[in-house]
Structure 1
Amino acid sequence: MVNFHDPDVIQKDFAFSTHFMHFSDGIYLWEFLTTLRFGWEFITGKRQFKWTFLLYATTRICALGAVITSFVGFNVTHSINCQQWIVWHLIIVYTSLASASVLISLRVIAVWNRNLIVIALTFGMALVNMGFLIYGIATVRSEWSTTSDTCLLENTYKSRDNITVTVSTDIAQLIVMMIGLWRCRRTMTASGIAQYLYVQGLIWLVVATLAEIPSAVFINLNLNGKDIHRANCFSVA
């Protein structure tokens, strides 16, 4: 059986996390650059401006900022103020997540034709999610390690709460949206339903939600860390 507390195993896990993060960041940079025209059309007036575009832009720009700060954290070769770095990194990341959560809530509300119960439910979940994200920023602790030449997070297991809540609220909103779309099934053909699901963004919400599940699973398993000991901050990113 693999000893996940073995230094060699932790080092291999860290190397894999580094390569995977670079790969993921590269995909986002490609996606960001290839879809710039959509945002530019709002800025230049080719598309009708809506206030929700501000949420969309916040999500995109903060996600880009998260990619940039993660590149810094993964490739720095000298000692840095790890506490400041991780706090600002999480602020950018969680701002993007919070904005995306509100956008999902608005989509769910639109599917349900502004049902008051659904409005209260979805925004309630979004607020709970934001509260846990703020808690995660307030409690994070990190410092530079001279032995591994990287930033170390103290007790990464504490982050399980805000990550689990984020995944849970996204899944809950996905279910609410699916129920709302299911109510419209009788008025459409099979091809019409598929097109409607695509337009309403359900497919992309499913993909985004599924992508969150592995991080929630691994941080709850806490393979490399211990309850009160340090773990490499990038091993659970």
Structure 2
Amino acid sequence: MHEHAARNASSDSTTPTLGHILFGLYLWEWFISLGFEWDFIIGKKRLRWPMFFYFVNRYLLLGHFISSMILWNSKGQEHPINCNVVYAFMRFFGKGALAFASINLALRTIAVWERNKYVTTGLALIMLGEFSIIFLDVRDVLKSSRWSVQGHVCVNGSKNDWLRIVFLISMSFDLLVLGLNVYKIGIKTAAFTRYCRERRRERSILRLTYLVLSQGIVYFFVAFCVNAAAFIVVTLPGLRNTNASRTYALPAYVLSTIVACRAVRALTKSGSHFENLPVLSNDPAFDISIGVGSNPGPTRASFLPSIGGKLSTEDLENKQIEVTEPSARETRSDYLKELKVVPRIPLESDDKHHSPKRAQDFV
């Protein structure tokens, strides 16, 4: 036990170097994205419940680095600190940030699957299992951490078994949601393309699907690779039960949080986050949830606005209007082109060089 703690204390000397670099990287990412949070504070964006996981994810990782700084700077001090509390906060904040990053990606998966009860229940159960492992890890840390009077440093005698399990769950979870998104978005993309080709829709109707496909899949893939690399590192024989393995787990915390939060910001700004993709709810050629042989009613497309935001000019131009049957006049822009334009009656103040005309001349 004491030999294991001494090895942890000696290997902990490599922690601050990489830790400070990653802390600086995350602080830079945190500062450049504060404008997104400011929009919620001033009311420019409407705050909804899914954003709770976004903010918790960001500030859990920030709390992890703050508690880590306290631990790193306490080395060599004469006055002891409460090592149990510091280590417990470090473990909970770090692994909690990793779990909430997975939750942010899972919410996007649930939205893409249109809140399918089987997908939602399965992902929720996996996340509950991961949080259970995190609390078990915190419990072990509270029992095994102490202040070393000889080395004037906090030592931790716990093993990294829970750390490996957490990374294994996160890696498997990210791979699962990656597969679910690739499968569902692939079907939707094919449906969108086929419908646009048949109905001659404007190319802008593919904007939301293209955004999720081009940005979302990349985020899921990066998160999976980061957790897979961290799992491989913490399972190496030479790093299995040392603080060095926890040090090399820091990049997984940081990169997973950055990837998940950037995914949230990208799709929230585009107006498609935590909402269903625009589908024609009554058109079997467009909505894959309708079975063959159904009797569709009026055709209507729903372009959902962003969270708390207003529809932009582009959204208004591309917003579909409800019609009783498909026709060439399906988009707002086509509808406006067919309207009869009535010229404005010029006033005398418009042009002093021309004589005023009567209203009857313009009817």
Whole-Å separation in 1 of the counterparts to 2:170 and 2:26? 20
Q: CA deviation at 1:50?
A: 1.2
Q: How does 1:152-171 map to 2 (within 5 A)?
A: 152-159=155-162, 160-171=164-175
Provide TM-score, normalisation by structure 1. 0.80
1:151 pairs with one of 130, 150, 154: 154
Once the two structures are superposed, what CA deviation does each residue of 1:89-133 show, in whole Å capped at 9, x if it has no partner? Answer: 222223333333322221111111112221122112211211211
Query: Whose Rg is larger?
Result: 2
1:97 and 2:101 matched: no
1:203 and 2:218 matched: yes
Check the 8 A contact 1:157/1:222 in 2, yes or no.
no
1:58 pairs with one of 44, 50, 56: 56
Summarize the Cα distance change of 1:85–1:14 in structure 2 as closer, same or farther, 3 Å threshold. Answer: closer
More displaced 10-residue stretch of structure 1: 122-131 or 178-187 = 178-187
Q: CA deviation at 1:146?
A: 4.8
Check the 8 A contact 1:151/1:232 in 2, yes or no.
no
More displaced 10-residue stretch of structure 1: 174-183 or 104-113 = 174-183
Report the identity percentage. 25
Q: How does 1:12-161 map to 2 (within 5 A)?
A: 14-77=12-75, 78=77, 79-140=80-141, 141-146=144-149, 149-159=152-162, 160-161=164-165
1:220 pairs with one of 235, 240, 245: 235
Q: Match of 1:48, SS?
A: coil
Summarize the Cα distance change of 1:183–1:29 in structure 2 as closer, same or farther, 3 Å threshold. Answer: same
More displaced 10-residue stretch of structure 1: 54-63 or 162-171 = 162-171
Unpaired segments of 5 or more residues in structure 1? none
Summarize the Cα distance change of 1:214–1:148 in structure 2 as closer, same or farther, 3 Å threshold. Answer: farther
Check the 8 A contact 2:145/2:158 in 1, yes or no.
no
Unpaired segments of 5 or more residues in structure 2? 194-202, 250-363
| Letter matched to residue 202 of structure 1 | I
Summarize the Cα distance change of 1:62–1:45 in structure 2 as closer, same or farther, 3 Å threshold. Answer: same
Q: CA deviation at 1:16?
A: 4.2
Whole-Å separation in 2 of the counterparts to 1:91 and 1:183? 38
Once the two structures are superposed, what CA deviation does each residue of 1:184-223 show, in whole Å capped at 9, x if it has no partner? Answer: 231349x966533245x33223223322223211222241
Q: 2:179 aligns to what?
A: 175
Whose RCO is larger (CA < 8 A, sep 6+)?
Answer: 1
Provide TM-score, normalisation by structure 2. 0.55
Summarize the Cα distance change of 1:225–1:213 in structure 2 as closer, same or farther, 3 Å threshold. Answer: closer
